[in-house]
Amino acid sequence: MFRLIRFTFRAFITLKLMALAFSAGMGAAYILQLRAQYRTWGLLPDDAQAFPGDDLVESADVVETRYADIDAAPAEVWPWLAQLGHGRGGWYSYAALDRPWSPTGGPPGGSADTILDEFGDLAEGDLVPTHPGGGFVARVVEPGRTLVLFLDESMMREHLEGLVADSVEDPDSAKMAPDMPPYAVSWAFVLEDAPGGRTRLIERMRFSVDVSEGQRKAMPVLAMGVFALMRDQMLGIKRRAEENAGAVLADGAD
């Protein structure tokens, strides 16, 4: 029973918009004094423009749109997006995101630093895991251009009930999965051509949750955590893509 409780709790924390990522992000945001950067770092000049996946969360409580310019072509950046996820390439952000598991091809507690060919064929409807058997679903996949991930409370509840059912003899105990408020998250990654064969990586996260007005006042803190997560992830993707620039296109030509 203790193992079941521990397993369910871990899955719940991970799936709830990777709550571990947010808590780590929020703590890091203040520890690393990122509060001032939040107002300027990577802000898209025209944040009002629409992006793929916006319709998945029409009324969002938190919207974050950031960008990073990468010295590599979109075709060289895309494979890093295609292999996102637990047991795949990892999340390229805070080590706490990957610490419970070691992504294939990466060191324990870290994301992969190489392209993993077995994860290159991502398609719409595929799972991008945050834990074994559950996580985000890819809703938009345009290789070399756009990836949109989606998660809501019904998906997470289904994942949790499956985890519990697999861990106990009585399937009815799957109802032990914890209650949670209605919420939805879309997470878009857009690759735009930039001068000189470079790439502008745009990340846009939209998050809505049905909570009380008092709890809603905490949304700015949540937004700070989202920023810390996205900033570190974009820098992680940028570093990997630039360090491996040329290798992806060369391999594809063989």
Domains along the sequence of the chain with CATH = 2-253 (3.30.530.20)
Q: What is the DSSP letter of 123?
A: -
* Predicted local distance difference test score (pLDDT) of residue 179: 66
* Predicted local distance difference test score (pLDDT) of residue 222: 72
Look at residue 81 and tell me whether its pLDDT is greater than 80: yes
Comparing CA positions, the residue from 136, 134, 103, 138 lying closest to residue 121 is: 138
Comparing CA positions, the residue from 46, 68, 43 lying closest to residue 194 is: 68
| Segment 203-224 mean pLDDT | 77
| Segment 52-74 mean pLDDT | 93
Question: What tokens appear for 136 in the block?
Answer: 């985000």
How far is the C-alpha of 127 from the C-alpha of 119, rounded, in Å?
11
| Segment 219-241 mean pLDDT | 86
Name every residue whose Cβ is closer than 8 Å to that of residue 98 and which is 6 or more positions away in sequence.
Answer: 86, 90, 91, 106, 109, 110, 111
| Segment 101-129 mean pLDDT | 79
% residues pLDDT > 70 (the chain): 65
Q: For 134, how many CA atoms within 13 A lie in the half-sphere containing its CB?
A: 24
* pLDDT tier for residue 205 given thresholds of 50, 70 and 90: very high
* Predicted local distance difference test score (pLDDT) of residue 4: 44
Adjacent-strand bridge partners of 205: 64, 187
* Predicted local distance difference test score (pLDDT) of residue 5: 43
Greater confidence, 65 or 164? Answer: 65
The size of the chain, in residues, is 254
- Per the prediction, the chain carries an average pLDDT of 78
Look at residue 191 and tell me whether its pLDDT is greater than 90: yes
Question: What tokens appear for 89 in the block?
Answer: 């390439």
How far is the C-alpha of 140 from the C-alpha of 90, rounded, in Å?
19
Least confident residue range of 21-25, 91-95, 117-121, 126-130: 21-25
pLDDT tens-digit series, residues 26-60: 555 454 556 677 778 888 877 668 999 999 998 88
